[in-house]
Amino acid sequence: MLRYVLAAQALRAFSINDSTKSLYRKFGNLVGSRNRARGLPAHYLARANSNLRILEERNLIKNGAKVMEIGTGWAHWEALFIRCFYDVTTVAMDVWDNRQFSGFIRFATELNERLGELDRPAEQVEHARGVLDRVLACASFEAVYEALSFRYVLGVEHAYQSIADGTLDLIFSSDVLEHVPASATLGMLQQHHRMLKPGGATAHQIVMTDHLRIYDRSVHPKNYLRYSDRTWQLLFANDVQYINRLQVNDWQRLFLAGGFKVETIVRNTTDLSGLPLAEQFKSAPTEDLEVAVVSMIGRKSLRDSRVSARRGLNWLQKMPERADFDVATDNSRGIAGNDTTRRNVALDDCARGDDTFISNRDAR
């Protein structure tokens, strides 16, 4: 626990002003580049492959699609992976430039060497080899973008403004949505809705564990659930490794409020026995709080979904007050209780009409 507290204090010190944040980023990129020189993180190959399978199983990806990766990071990893198997046009977006060309090439080289591990059809592997051969012949990110039909854009507003209404087939990310400020999440999803074609989807893997655990493995994977917003803000919250602490039920409401039909695919859970919960989390269903990693998919209806968005917004406004939510709240303790039946009633209520709420817990 000592390391947890010390790490939080160090990250808070880096969050003081723009200069300290910039120092943190330089330092982070230096450490990151050393790590990336060692090769692909152990879970990256399996993560990207299962994310892609989720898209394929739902017919959300096809040749010719226009796609966008948000929070593309240092190596455009998820976008590169998809591009290996599909001829898509990609907008790769992030909020700051943390790209590392040497790390990117290291990842691409390793992917080329490990394509055989992916259990994909021979013609897909062949396609990927052709793509990676072109990538590995490039000497700069600009050359890679040209070869892969990528466009790299920095800044949320800049990126979103550069995309016309109804022009994207798919928006995706991995390990990003937990870092989006809670107050910006609804606006982000509304922008996704605007940019997507009817029938398009926004699909995200979200890691819901306590990121401070990176520095202290002795704490519970969801240790942050102990703390009220007040304690969290006072002692642990920081800007440089911000996490929004949103849970599955929060995201479901947000996707609905953004105008989407939402599907939840639980990827990984953690046992909460013995973990005391802060009052504000006690009203959330335990099965939601137990989620460690989830995929959330929002689908834009083929027809106007403003009605469901309005219904979702009404529901969102009834959620328990959260310090960093930017929507009006009525201080009620929320519709969803601990009891699963009540929760399902609430979801059904929200989903009544043509926009169906789909919850896929079989993937647990």
Ligand X SMILES: C[S@@+](CC[C@H](N)C(=O)[O-])C[C@H]1O[C@@H](n2cnc3c(N)ncnc32)[C@H](O)[C@@H]1O
Q: Which is nearer to ligand X, 109 or 344 (CB)?
A: 109
- Measured distance CA(258)–CA(25) in Å, rounded: 32
Using a 10 angstrom Cβ sphere, with 0-12 exposed, 13-18 middle and 19 or more buried, the burial of residue 294 is buried
Q: Which is nearer to ligand X, 91 or 351 (CB)?
A: 91
In the complex, minimum distance from the CB of residue 204 to ligand X, in angstroms, rounded to a whole number:
10
- Measured distance CA(238)–CA(217) in Å, rounded: 19
Q: Which is nearer to ligand X, 97 or 349 (CB)?
A: 97
- Within 10 angstroms of residue 202's Cβ, the number of other Cβ atoms is 29
From first CA to last CA, the distance across the chain in angstroms is 29
In the complex, minimum distance from the CB of residue 17 to ligand X, in angstroms, rounded to a whole number:
18
In the complex, minimum distance from the CB of residue 159 to ligand X, in angstroms, rounded to a whole number:
8
Contacts of range 76-80, beta carbons closer than 8 Å, 24 or more positions apart: 76/104, 76/150, 76/152, 77/44, 77/48, 77/107, 77/174, 78/48, 78/51, 78/172, 78/173, 78/174, 79/150, 80/104, 80/107, 80/108, 80/111, 80/135, 80/148
Q: Which is nearer to ligand X, 77 or 315 (CB)?
A: 77
Q: Which is nearer to ligand X, 107 or 227 (CB)?
A: 107
In the complex, minimum distance from the CB of residue 200 to ligand X, in angstroms, rounded to a whole number:
18
In the complex, minimum distance from the CB of residue 40 to ligand X, in angstroms, rounded to a whole number:
10
Contact footprint for ligand X (CB under 6 A): 70-71, 73, 77-78, 94-96, 98, 156, 173-176, 179-180
